[in-house]
Amino acid sequence: MIRFSCSSLTVVAAVVVVAGAAYADVDPLPSWNDGDTKSVIITFVESVTTEGSASFVDENARIATFDNDGTLWVEQPMYTQLAFAFDQVKAMADAHPEWKTTQPFQAVLEGDMKTLGEAGEKGLLEMVAATHSGMSTEEFEKTASDWLSTAKHPKFDKPYTELVYQPMIELIDYLQENDFKTFIVSGGGIEFMRPWTEEVYNIPPEQVVGSSITTEFKMVDGKPALMRTNKIDFIDDKAGKPVGINSHIGHRPIAAFGNSDGDFEMLQYTTIGADGPRLGAFVHHTDNEREFAYDRDTHFGKLDKGLDAAEENGWLLIDMKADWKTVFPE
Amino acid sequence: MIRFSCSSLTVVAAVVVVAGAAYADVDPLPSWNDGDTKSVIITFVESVTTEGSASFVDENARIATFDNDGTLWVEQPMYTQLAFAFDQVKAMADAHPEWKTTQPFQAVLEGDMKTLGEAGEKGLLEMVAATHSGMSTEEFEKTASDWLSTAKHPKFDKPYTELVYQPMIELIDYLQENDFKTFIVSGGGIEFMRPWTEEVYNIPPEQVVGSSITTEFKMVDGKPALMRTNKIDFIDDKAGKPVGINSHIGHRPIAAFGNSDGDFEMLQYTTIGADGPRLGAFVHHTDNEREFAYDRDTHFGKLDKGLDAAEENGWLLIDMKADWKTVFPE
């Protein structure tokens, strides 16, 4: 620890990292109701940041991973990226008459949510691959950004990037203030998330892990470009999440937050058989009034075996209705 | 910028980021001879960090990438990871009599450097895949770390991790002090580098991009493990480097350093057709006395079309003999 007094010193452009004790006066999680859930989180953070304690964890090992859909932002009535793909399929349908009889495109054009739900993240990516291949990563980024700037959620009538969970934003901030490195590890498309995660979550592109399609480097008209093919490269879901974490981060996290069985293996990888304190948690969607209530029986974000295994594994269930004062930012 | 005076304040655990001007008195690159090469580097860094200037680049876009073999550490008389693989093949040869007549194993057992050189990074990875599959990533890390702690370079008789280039270490430090995010982008195996890059280069595992074999998540005896298969996942070389950069970093770099034609596309991606200042550079191995001299005609680290294209593209050639006061750390 660097300690200095400065009776006549002016410190310019200083980043001051205040020790944990200073938070005693300021609630780091104001949108969380006081209670067991909040206590478990704060106790965990204090335990790994208290120097000299047996549970202290070096800064470079303070890795926390967050699922995105249903953990940081709304995933009902469908994944946001699916709503995006729907709109792209509809816009391109006249040029593709074969889509009327080819799944999952037929389901999109007919609004068949059940078939689409069963197609899962893989079906979503197939649709994205089909509708977004043959363009550069920069062109794709622009298409996604343009859509996000105009599209609105059907229930809340707000842009999707405003339908993020305020308590989780505070949690990311709190961990960052305590020198955690925070990563998104999502089944969603990595290039769909990166254009906006820094602004919305304060998580930069290089700390976003997601599903991807293959890209190829080419010089196009004398300029370098990465062209998106229609071949799926990696599915960052279920047992793919620890693989994605190892590939992109190269450490096991000490904390992981998810909300569905797609996050089960990430929580196993983070918490089981490890030395030292670990925190694994599911956001449990229990609030049909302020958001949505769902778990074992839903097309998107099914939480079933995770709900059964939580107690045995010491995983925290964050009860959205009971634990959160507010759901969305004001 | 945060500015505060503190007549009666004690600041605890403060990280002070001093503005660029303070470096005017201190040479940030003491192992570099004064001259054009050093000037180009310093002018570039000052141009992107001077607030208010037209060439200023926000901190979050200050991405610099470094090749590893031949750019940050020695790659002659062979890639270090190849020396590692050799020793593994020899240790396992009795159990694999078929290797006596199967390439590239035969070449290893016979010391046939020419055939091995032609096999390239891909041949190296096939050998690593064959000799290091069926174990967990943690077991592999231990094997690699154990080898690095005992193996010595044939010419310099020192551990390989001491045969890093002191001027390049200073360059990484200098960029980090100027709020660059520094990444390794190497054709070498990602899991071979990550155990030691933080200690040696101050580059943490999540900022290392490299070639990889596929891993599979499994619970083994009730504990999570990532098992290494013998299937190559990604070759982070040549046109693969921009792909790896996009996958892991998600930005185009503004500076890239390499030493061979394997870095050609990384330099194109970094410097061509981009807005604002860019720096692309090759370390040119010109010093047979202190290290090795090679470029167009070598099995490892061939620099041929890069040498021809450097002037046209405005890429800097770092002349090891002329530009570096010292090569290795004292």
Which of B16, B17, B138, B139 has the most A C-beta neighbours within 10 Å, making it the best mutation to test the interface with A? B16
Contacts across the A-B interface (CB distance below 8 Å): 165
Hey, are the CB atoms on B13 and A1 less than 8 Å from each other? yes
So what's the ipTM on this one? Answer: 0.89
Residue B4 confidence (pLDDT)? 31
| Amino acid letter, B148 | L
Residue scoring higher pLDDT (A134 or B12): A134
In this prediction, residues B293-305 reach a mean pLDDT of: 95
User: Which pair of tokens denotes residue A231?
Assistant: 């071949």
In chain A, what are the helix, strand and coil shares in percent, each to the nearest 5?
A: 45, 20, 35
Q: What is the pLDDT of residue B134?
A: 82
Phi then psi for B167, rounded to 5 degrees? -65, -35
Q: Tell me how far apart the alpha carbons of residues B140 and B315 are, in angstroms, rounded to a whole number.
A: 37
Nearest to residue B81, comparing CAs of B110, B108, B112, B106? B108
Quick one: what percent of chain A has pLDDT higher than 90? 77
What confidence tier does A3 reach under pLDDT thresholds 50, 70, 90? very low
Q: Report the pLDDT value the prediction gives residue A111, as an integer from 0 to 100.
A: 87
pLDDT of residue A122 exceeding 70, the answer is: yes
Q: What is the 3-state secondary structure (H, E, C) of B139-150?
A: HHHHHHHHHHHH
Decide which of 3.20.20.70, 3.40.440.10, 3.40.50.1000, 3.40.50.300 is the CATH code for B20-77+164-323.
3.40.50.1000
B258 bridge partner residues: B282
Question: Helices A240-248 and A264-271: crossing angle, nearest 10°?
Answer: 60
Task: With CB atoms and an 8 Å threshold, state whether A205 touches B8.
Answer: no
State the virtual CA torsion across B26, B30, B36, B37 in degrees, nearest 10: -120
What is the third-level CATH fold of A30-75+165-323?
Answer: Rossmann fold (3.40.50)
Chain B: give the shortest CA distance to residue A34, in Å.
Answer: 29
Q: pLDDT averaged over chain A?
A: 90
- Record the tokens describing residue B196, joined without a space: 């030691």
- Alpha carbons B250 and B247: distance in angstroms, whole number: 6
- Which helix (H) or strand (E) segment holds residue B130: the answer is helix B113-132
Higher model confidence: residue A94 or residue A122? A94
Q: Find the residue in A nearest to B14 (Cα).
A: A16
Q: pTM here?
A: 0.90
Q: Is the pLDDT of residue A261 over 60?
A: yes
Residue A256: strand pairing partners: A65, A280
At position A60, the amino acid (one-letter code) is N
> Is the pLDDT confidence value at B270 over 70?
yes
Percent of all residues in chain A with a pLDDT value above 70, rounded to a whole number? 92
- What CA–CA distance (Å, rounded) separates B115 from B112? 6
For strands B223-234 and B208-220, give the pairing: antiparallel
Question: Residue B250: which of A8, A12, A206 has the nearest Cβ?
Answer: A206
Q: Are the C-beta atoms of residues A168 and A72 closer than 8 Å to each other?
A: yes
Residue A8 is predicted with a pLDDT of 33
Helix B80-92 crosses helix B137-150 at what angle (to 10 degrees)?
Answer: 100
pLDDT score at A129: 76
CA distance B57 to B252: 13
- For CA atoms B15, B19, B23, B29, the dihedral sign is positive
- What pLDDT is stored for residue A91 in this prediction? 85
pLDDT tens digits for range A70-107 = 999 999 998 999 899 889 899 889 989 999 998 889 99
Query: Mean pLDDT over residues B223-247, rounded?
Result: 96
Residue from A252, A246, A240, A236 nearest A193 by CA: A236
pLDDT tens digits, one per residue of B30-55: 999 999 999 999 999 999 999 999 99
Average pLDDT, chain B: 90
Judged by DSSP in three states, A148 sits in helix
What type of residue sits at position B62?
A: R
Smallest Cβ–Cβ distance between B13 and the set A19, A198, A205 belongs to A19
- Record the tokens describing residue A161, joined without a space: 């990037």
Residues 6+ apart with CB under 8 A from A78: A113, A116, A117, A299, A300
Residues B111-146 pLDDT 10s: 888 887 788 767 777 787 788 788 999 999 999 999
Chain B residues close to A273, C-beta within 8 Å: 222-224
Determine the 3-state secondary structure of B63 from DSSP: strand
Tokens 């503190």, located at residue: B6
pLDDT digit string, tens, across residues B154-188: 999 999 999 999 999 999 999 999 999 999 999 99
pLDDT for the residue B121? 66
Q: Which residues of A touch B8 (CB under 8 A)?
A: 7
Q: How do B14-16 and A293-294 pair as beta strands?
A: unpaired
C-alpha distance from A82 to closest chain B C-alpha (Å): 22
- In this structure, the number of other CB atoms found within 10 A of the CB of residue B123 comes to 18
Which helix (H) or strand (E) segment holds residue A310: the answer is helix A305-313
Residues of A in contact with B265 (CB under 8 A): 217, 224
Cβ-based contacts of B215 with chain A (< 8 Å): 243, 246-247
Going by pLDDT thresholds of 50, 70 and 90, the confidence category of residue B24 is low
CB contact under 8 A, B6 and A2: no
Distance of CA A305 to the CA centre of its chain: 20
d(CA A294, CA B289): 70
Q: What mean pLDDT is predicted for residues B87-98?
A: 90
**pLDDT, average across residues B206-216:** 96
Tell if the CB–CB gap between A11 and B14 is shorter than 8 Å.
yes
The overall longest dimension of chain B from CA atoms, in Å, is 77
Amino acid at B161: T
- Tokens 């620099």 correspond to B303
Residue A321: Cβ within 10 Å count: 16
> Tell me, what's the pLDDT at A16?
38
pLDDT tier for residue A244 given thresholds of 50, 70 and 90:
very high
A310 or A20, higher pLDDT: A310
Beta-carbon separation of B265 and A16 below 8 A: no
Q: Where are the domains of chain B?
A: 20-77+164-323, 80-150
Residue of B nearest to A194 (CA): B250
Give the whole-number percent of chain B exceeding pLDDT 90: 77
Task: Look at residue B71 and tell me whether its pLDDT is greater than 80.
Answer: yes
pLDDT at B303 over 90: yes
